[in-house]
Amino acid sequence: MSEHHKFRYLLPPGNNFQFVNKFRAWLVMSFFLMAGAVGALVANKSMRGDYMNWTIDFKGGTEIMFTFKENGNYTKADPGKIRAALDKSGEQHVEVSEISWDEKQNGNDVTVNGMIIRTTRFSALTPQIQDQARDAFIKAFESPQCASDPTQCVISRATWSGGDRFNVRTKKPIKNLIAEPAPDQAALSSDEAAKAFATVTAGGTPLEVKAWSRDEAKQYLQMDEGTKEFIEWFAIRGIDRQFELIMERGVNPESCAADVSAAGCIDVVAVQSYGVGAKAGDKLRDDAAKSIIYAIFLIMLYLAFRFDIRYAPGAAFASIHDAIMVIGVFALTWTEVS
Partner 1 sequence: MDRSLKWRTFALIAAVIACVGILLPTFIGRESIPTWAPGLFRKEINFGLDLQGGLHIVYSIDLDTAVVDKAGEIKRDLETRFREEKPTIEAEVKTPLKVTGGVTVIPKDPNKRAEIEAAIKTDYTDTVENRSCESTDPQTAICIKVSTKYSEDIKKSALANAVTTIRERIDEKGIAEPSVVEKDDQIIVELPGLDTQATQATKDIIKRTAKLEFKTVDNFAVPMSKLYAKAAPDDENKATEPRARELGIYAVIDDWVPDEGERQQDYYLFARDRKEWTPLDRAEKIGCKLKNDELEVKDGKVYCEIKGFQVLEQWLTEITAADPSLAIPDDREIAYEFVEPSKDAEGVWREPHWRSYYLKRAVELTGTSIKNARSSYDPNTNRPVVLLDFNRYGSRRFGDLTAQIIGKKLATILDKKVKSAPIINVAIRGGSALISMGGGNDAQRQQKEADELVNVLRTGSLPAPLREDSSLEVGPSLGRDAIDKTKLSFGLGIILVVIIMVGIYRWSGWISVFAVMFHNLLTLTVMTVFGATLTLPGIAAIVLSVGMCVDGNILIYERIRDELLLGKSVRGAVDLGFSRAFSAILDGQLTTAAGGWVLLQYGSGPIRGFAVLLLVGVFTTLSTNIWVTRIFFDWYIAKKKGQAATISI
Element (H, E) at 275: strand 267-276
SS3 per-residue string spanning 132-192: HHHHHHHHHHCCHHHHCCHHHCCEEEEEEECCCEEEEEECCCHHHHHCCCCCCCCCHHHHH
From the list 27-35, 176-184, 194-202, 275-283, the region that binds partner 1 by CB under 8 A is 275-283
Is the C-alpha dihedral spanning 165, 192, 221, 157 positive or negative? positive
Closer by beta carbon to partner 1, 36 or else 93: 93
Residue count, binding to partner 1 (CB under 8 A): 54
Contact, 143 vs 154, CB < 8 A? yes
Please, which residues have CB within 8 angstroms of residue 305's CB and are 6 or more apart in sequence? none
Among 33, 198, 245, 299, binds partner 1 (CB under 8 A): 299
Asked if 101 is part of the footprint of partner 1 (rule: CB under 8 A), the reply reads: yes
Among 50, 95, 208, 336, binds partner 1 (CB under 8 A): 95
Among 165, 175, 210, 241, binds partner 1 (CB under 8 A): 165
Asked if 291 is part of the footprint of partner 1 (rule: CB under 8 A), the reply reads: yes
Among 21, 161, 201, 205, binds partner 1 (CB under 8 A): 161
Contact, 113 vs 98, CB < 8 A? yes
Q: Where are the alpha helices (DSSP H) in 50-126?
A: 56-59, 79-89
Closer by beta carbon to partner 1, 125 or else 136: 125
- Quote the DSSP letter at residue 332: H
Minimum CB distance to partner 1, residue 208 (Å): 21
Contact, 134 vs 158, CB < 8 A? yes
Among 1, 182, 258, 263, binds partner 1 (CB under 8 A): 1
Asked if 100 is part of the footprint of partner 1 (rule: CB under 8 A), the reply reads: yes
- Name residues contacting partner 1, limited to 57-76 (CB under 8 A): 60, 63
Per DSSP, the chain holds a count of helices (H) and strands (E) of: 10, 13
Minimum CB distance to partner 1, residue 226 (Å): 2
- Per CB under 8 A, residues contacting partner 1 are 1-2, 4-10, 60, 63, 79-80, 83, 95-101, 116, 156, 161-162, 165, 169, 224-229, 274-281, 283-284, 287-288, 290-291, 294-295, 298-299, 302-303, 306
